[in-house]
A and B are shown apart, each in its own frame.
Chain A
Amino acid sequence: MTELLQLEFMRIALVIAVLIGLTAPAVGTFIVQRRLALLGDGIGHIALTGIGLGLLTGTSPVLGALVVSALGAVVIEVLRARSRTGGDVALAILFYGGLAGGVLLTNMQGGGTSMQSYLFGSISSVTVSDLYVIAALAAAVLVIVLLFGRELFLLCQDEEVARASGLPTRFLSLLIAITAAVTVVIAMRAIGLLLVSALMIVPVAAAQQLTRGFRATMLLAMVIGVLSAVSGLVGSFEYDLTPGPSIVMVTLAVFVLAVVGGALTRRRAHRAPAEKVEVEAAQA
């Protein structure tokens, strides 16, 4: 481990792994709460077009991804709010358009190989200036979660009640969508756009096997996120594997363990209340 820390790219990569491990599950908890688990995936596809635009125009691909994925997130949110039935088809069309557009634009620029690094991540190529951008974006995401957490909880739990509580639901809906887009951009260099969503969703899915409350789920998901990102990164370096997919595989392994652990603890906990249900049934 000390040997790893002597390498500058590895130090940067570890900081980024921690930032992703904290932010992606924090935002992901609200997204799962809202039953939009595939939102991050969709934003990831759309971000590709932004990268293509960034490469083609010679500006920053990260900036391109940030702008286009934020716009994409707004469009997804508008479609979600407007249409109840045709929403998912509209979303799918947007996803495929984003993916195809990104590949086309990148190939026009002749950057087929760099496309690969955005699709599946290349954490070791992140520079110090990239790190500053990512750290600032991660700080923004965490501040938003802290400041608006209470309102976002109610919004994601029951949007109609949130409106009847006087919350600015349209603003909050856009806020959560754009925050998800920013998170995708934070994680894309390390994990890759096609796998970004995994780190938003899988730690949350793992955590909720073991927790009873929302706050506890979010905190445990962040712990799982950081541990998976760091250990996946270190492991990929040790065994010469691709970092992004390694991180995701570690997260999935934690999920499997959590499912087993959760089932065992629940079986133990359910034995006592089972008698209570019988008492209620007998009295009803």
Chain B
Amino acid sequence: MTTGDPFTMTGGRVRLEGREVLRGIDLRVATGDMLAVLGPNGSGKSTLIRALLGLVPLAGGRTEIYGVRPARFRDWHRVGYVPQRLTVGGGVPATVREVVASGRVARQSRWRPSSRADRAWVDRALAAVDLTDRARDPAQELSGGQQQRVLIARALAGEPDVLVMDEPTAGVDTGNQETLAATLAGLVEDGRTVVLVAHELGPLEPLITRSVVLEHGRVVHEGTPPPPEGECAKPGHDHVHPHEAADPPAPLRSWSIGA
């Protein structure tokens, strides 16, 4: 087991097809952070998190996952990655459960079949994104927002310590965003780390503990999100949003109708 911060990048530079996409990024993600990477289109947000995971090579600087360079990192089961995808992908139908179960691969041995524990974690991940009753449906037939939740469940099924998500809210309706916020709130309570790229935070905003803003491949702002204003700033306001209420919010309930 390696120790250290989930991600540390110093002077990170990335060049893609001759264009400098990241121009010297210093970023430290500590355990328990809920970090939002913000910025306009083309500012290098996705490239940054892909570079953190070692999916794109650095042209300069260095980056470490739990203190180890990505090429030598072995504890991949500690990392869950939710890429930015419009659909689940693949040319053959796969059930929601099959896609989610594939997220366990880093914790499984090639020589052994799936165990009861594996199946239990898949059940949990499905429940966390409220897709238990769609488990046997083909993932490709779900709506865009639901497919996004399948990809999140796939990452959760691996019991990651750090969850890296690329635009989990893009093209997702408010109901799905609130389900996601509830899921992430649970993860943060468990002491896990979340790094997410977002265009707009929406219902995720109250959960964010830190944010960095990228522009032209550089960090132009770093720090805590702006303080709450208006109603939320009043003393005695305990910051309970509708999605954190004990009962699931209305849009969430509608998914189970007829399913």
Partner-B contacts on A (CB < 8 A): 29, 32-35, 37, 147-148, 150-151, 153-154, 156-158, 160-167, 204, 208, 211-215, 217, 272-273, 275-276, 279-280, 283-284
Q: A162-B105, A164-B76 are in contact. List 19 more A-B contacts (CB 8 A).
A: A29-B92, A32-B91, A150-B108, A150-B110, A157-B88, A158-B83, A158-B89, A164-B55, A165-B76, A165-B158, A213-B93, A213-B95, A213-B138, A214-B95, A273-B258, A275-B258, A279-B257, A283-B251, A283-B254
Q: Taking chain A's interface residues, is the majority helix, strand, or loop, or is none over half, making it mixed?
A: helix
Which A residues are in CB contact (< 8 Å) with B91?
32-35, 37
Q: Are B92 and A279 in contact (CB under 8 A)?
A: no
- In whole angstroms, how far apart are the Cα atoms of A164 and B165 in the complex? 12
**Inter-chain contacts of A213 with B (CB < 8 A):** 93-95, 97-98, 136, 138
Do the beta carbons of B81 and A161 come within 8 Å of each other? yes
Task: Name which residue of chain A comes closest to B110, CB basis.
Answer: A147
Q: Are A33 and B90 in touch, CB under 8 angstroms? A: yes
User: Which residue of chain A lies nearest to B85 when distances are taken between CB atoms in the complex?
Assistant: A158
A164 to B50 Cα, complex, angstroms: 9
Interface size class of B (residues with CB under 8 A): 35 or more
With CB as the reference atom, state the residue of chain A lying closest to B81: A164
Q: Are the CB atoms of A167 and B105 closer together than 8 Å?
A: yes
Taking the complex as formed, is B53 at the interface, i.e. its CB lies under 8 A from any CB of chain A? yes
Residues of chain B lying within 8 A (CB to CB) of residue A147: 110-111
> Which residues does chain B contribute within 8 Å of A34, judged by CB atoms?
91
Q: How far is the CB of B193 from chain A (nearest CB, A)?
A: 15
Pair A276/B93 contact, Cβ less than 8 Å = no
Q: Is the CB of B55 within 8 A of A163?
A: yes
Q: Chain A nearest CB: distance from B205 CB in Å?
A: 21
Question: Chain A residues near B77 (CB, 8 Å)?
Answer: 165-166
Contacts of A29 in B (CB 8 A): 92
Q: How far is the CA of A163 from the CA of B105 in the complex (A)?
A: 11
Judge whether B123 is part of the interface by a CB distance below 8 angstroms: no
